[in-house]
Amino acid sequence: MPEENKVLEATATLRFARISARKVKIVADLIRGKKADEALAIVKFTPKASSEILEKLLKSAIANAENNHGMNRGNLVVSEIYANQGPTMKRIRPAAKGSAVRIRKRTSHITIKLREI
């Protein structure tokens, strides 16, 4: 089996992030397919709740690519980025007439994969 066709991929994963996957996907769609440095700039100046989390995760993925796989930072591209739904924490809030309302605190699992071009 030839090893030449093997494509190196660096991955960073954040599990159980306390933000809904729906909110993360908005920013994730902006940086999919972009170069790593361009993606960092986009995330840094996007005024969304998830952008801070994604910035930290993207920096981690870049560090993994450089240190673990020996990739060149200038050639890195965000090949895959996705946010899946994690477990939902259920909380209860008192409501009128002695009843209760369920509060769903959603979590997500975020994964970024970088590839060298």
pLDDT value of position 7:
75
Number of domains in the chain: 1
Per-residue pLDDT of the chain (117 residues; tens, 9 = 90+): 555 567 789 999 999 999 999 999 999 999 999 999 999 999 999 999 999 999 999 999 999 999 999 999 999 999 999 999 999 999 999 999 999 999 999 999 999 999 998
Q: In angstroms, rounded to a whole number, what is the distance separating the alpha carbons of residues 72 and 16? A: 30
Structural domain of 112:
9-116
Find the CATH number of the domain harbouring 80.
3.90.470.10
Burial label, 73 (beta-carbon count in 10 A; 0-12, 13-18, 19+) = middle
| pTM, entire model | 0.88
* 41 domain-assigned: yes
* 2 domain-assigned: no
* 1 domain-assigned: no
